Chains A and B, each alone.
Chain A
Amino acid sequence: MPTKIEKDAVTGTETTGHEWDGIKELNNPLPKWWLYVLYACIAWSFGYYVLYPSFPGLDGLMGYSQRVVLSEDLARAKARQAGNLERVATTPVAEIRADPELLNFVLTGGRAVFADNCAPCHAPGGAGRPGFPTLADDDWIWGGELEQIEQTIRYGVRNEHEEARLGDMPAFGADGLLEADQIEAVASHVLALSQADGAAGGDGAEIYAENCASCHGESGEGGREFGAPRLNDQIWLYGGEKADVLAQISRPRQGVMPHWADRLDETTIKMLTIYVHGLGGGE
């Protein structure tokens, strides 16, 4: 409540009656236009309440919703992309890679699709995780050429699709095919293969030649038709320590990859193929 309304000597205006640390304020009347602007804002707010969603359950007469805006934006984006998607569908892969603008479109789209579908296992950018191959390196289990990559994406590995890629490594330890010391010897040989000199010899080489070479190749160069990885390089899917190799020979882990042929359309698979091929290790 105003406690002491005074009349200012200089201007003749009253004070508000309040004092703050010796500071008083003149109570000049506010301009009426200011008040009318306030009324106009209030009137506007009534209209706004009615036209726009303003209360749970009331959607507003204009039917505005963020979700509608989003779906409109997405439809507009799709329309904008339609031309390029058409071109991607009809252009052969080699030509796509020669056209910088189209290639940019494909790589950007591929990156987005990869993030949604492939990154959960293969990690963003194809970095890979233990048990899930790195797609950015230059080693391929099933082949790194464009057609081979496309087939792997389309039909997957070790799944229920009739055209899925299949590879089956026997469980040498668990099924009793080899003794423990034999497994140890062949593990040493495999590790020696991956070193630059690769010379081993001895029991391990013999056991390797009898049991492993038929799929993994005589000097560990891999067998792509079986899905047998290269053993003579520095890339290890399940770990490169002795214990990891022992475990993999005894009771092998065999990865499963879903088939994408019926989940993604042809153009998308094409874009993914080019993207994965372009991650740095494509052949």
Chain B
Amino acid sequence: MADTVQFEEALSVEAQKRQPLYAGRIEVYPKKVEGPFRRIKWAALIVLLAIYYIVPWLRWDRGPEAPDQAVLVDMAHERLYFFFIQIWPQEVYYLSGLLILAAVGLFLVTSLAGRVWCGYTCPQTVWTDLFMWVERLIEGDRNARIKLDKSTLGLGKAVRKTLKHTVWMVIAAATGGAWIMYFNDAPTVLRAIFTGQASSAVYLFAGLFTATTYLLAGWAREQVCTYMCPWPRIQAAMLDEDSLVVTYEKWRGEPRGKHKKDQTWDGRGDCVDCNMCVAVCPTGIDIRDGNQLECIGCALCVDACNSVMERVGRPANLIAYDTERNQQNRARGEPTSYKLARPRTVIYSLILLAVASIMLWSLIFRPTLNISVLHERSPLFVTLSDGSIRNGYTIKLLNQTRDARAFVLSLEGPPATAMQVVGQPGGAHETVVLNARADSVATFRVYVTLPKSKISGDTVPISFVLRDETSGEEAVYQASFRGPAK
């Protein structure tokens, strides 16, 4: 029949528009919030910033020859000082160990407590929080800031903005300055910076860190977490159904809607749609959409929602730190549990313990003496007039103590070998005395001579034994003595 309706495949121009490739930034204006998690965040910020700014100024006496800064990376003299510990470049693996500990520690903490790194201790979070506090102090809370940004540029706005950026710059400069104080003596370099006498490297790095602090904490803020940082993406691999995350209890909160006083709570959710959780969020997301990449787990929305729940007389923790498993249990009315010891957390803890033990053990028992022997390659051996064979060796002694020491060098191997230290008078002997300055590498050239009859084959194994007579400490290096091919 002719009255069947035809269906046309047609989309309007509007419907056919694809999503834009690029989108402008949507400004985030976090609102001030008070609560236990906010207090924890402030505490973490104060402690961490205090450590960062104050540590370079701590002193540690190491004697007249050495720097007296407690924590110092002395690039020029190839030493890393940490209070009573001193690391030589050859021992850089202690730093590797620290990095491994940091990484595994981070995995462990995340698998237990969620993104606490992101929310409380990450430098980006800490400095952005600080800069936002300055902004709130100068420009006002959220609504005032939005109004100020919308307004035309007048005297008031110009003054506020200039003041804010100036304070930001000062903080950034202090941050950049503090960074280079970990690599230079703090009082000296501070004076040098202000009198124009610091090296170009100091100015360059201080300037670099000032610029990056100002840009990242002042301008970029949540863009770092959302777009630049790889950690949010890695977090997904760290979390499982027993990790604490900031969750919205959808089964309790929905259906959401405005609530008038004395209205019933039956047939509706506890969420009064006040949007406080969105207003206080530093990354500008809505936690009610669920666990998402942009959520840094700072729990400011928890504080905000709880203050509202208290006012409307509903139970707290509509938004809370909870595990996925527990949320499902709560939704069904079943008992909740926290599984701290899971295969994941146990394995991370064991790795942490193992690496820390190895590092501690090797740090406590590391030798203060080391010997390295380089066999001269050209000539490999020299035939002397009387037919005996002579080999040359370059011996490097590492004296890793703060005292000058004398060592005795002897040989183990063929009997009656004679050693001659180049530059030391007195001919060849079976043992020689080598003097080393404190905290340094001493280099000696030694000739070892063997009569031809003592050499069978073209290689004879010998060992150089270095001994500190006072402490009995010994270092041995196995080398070889070469002769003409038979």
Residue ranges of A at the interface with B (Cβ–Cβ < 8 Å)? 5, 10-11, 13-14, 27, 29-35, 100, 103, 123-128, 134, 136-139, 230, 233-235, 278, 280-281
Whether B382 contacts A280 by the Cβ 8 Å rule is yes
Say whether chain A's binding surface is mostly helix, strand, loop, or mixed: loop
**Which of B18, B22, B385 is close to A30, meaning CB atoms less than 8 Å apart?**
B22
B: number of interface residues (CB 8 Å): 29
B18 pairs with A14, CB closer than 8 A: yes
- By a CB distance below 8 angstroms, the chain A residues around B84 are none
Known: A139-B385, A234-B385, A280-B447. A35 touches B380 (CB 8 A): no
How many residue pairs, one in A and one in B, have C-beta atoms under 8 Å apart? 83
Cβ proximity bits B1-43 to A, threshold 8 Å, 1 near / 0 not: 0000000000000000011111111000000000000000000
**Structural contact, A32 and B22, CB atoms closer than 8 A:** yes
- Cα distance, A19 to B297, chains bound together (Å): 31
Verify B384–A234 contact, CB threshold 8 A. yes
Cβ of B376 under 8 Å from chain A = yes
Instruction: Choose among A29, A127, A280 the residue with the greatest number of B CB atoms under 10 Å from its CB.
Output: A280
Considering the complex, give the chain B residue whose CB is closest to the CB of A234.
B387
Complex CA distance for A241 and B20, rounded to whole angstroms: 90
Contact bitstring B450-484, A, C-beta under 8 A = 1, else 0? 00100000000000000000000000000000000
Contact flags (1/0) for B352-382 with A, using CB distance below 8 Å? 0000000000000000000000001111101
A22 to B223, CA, bound (A): 29
A280 to B449, CA, bound (A): 11
- Chain A: minimal CB distance from B232 (Å): 14
Interface of B is mostly: loop
Which of A27, A136, A280 lies in contact with B19, CB distance below 8 A? A27
Tell me, yes or no, whether B56 is within 8 Å of chain A by CB. no
Q: Cβ of B385 and Cβ of A230 under 8 Å apart?
A: yes
Set A11, A30, A125: member contacting B379, Cβ < 8 A: A125
Contact B422 A278 (CB under 8 A): yes
Question: B residues within 8 A CB of A280?
Answer: 382, 390, 392, 422, 447
Per the bound structure, the CA–CA distance linking A124 and B378 in Å amounts to 6
A-B contact pairs, 26 of them (CB 8 A): A11-B289, A29-B19, A29-B20, A30-B21, A31-B23, A31-B25, A32-B22, A32-B23, A32-B24, A34-B22, A125-B377, A126-B379, A136-B379, A136-B392, A137-B385, A137-B390, A138-B384, A138-B385, A233-B385, A233-B386, A234-B384, A234-B452, A235-B383, A235-B385, A280-B390, A280-B392
A32–B25 Cα distance when bound, in Å, is: 7
B265 close to A (CB within 8 Å): no
Q: Which of B227, B383, B452 contacts A34 (CB 8 A)?
A: B227
What CA separation (Å) do A36 and B21 show in the bound complex? 13
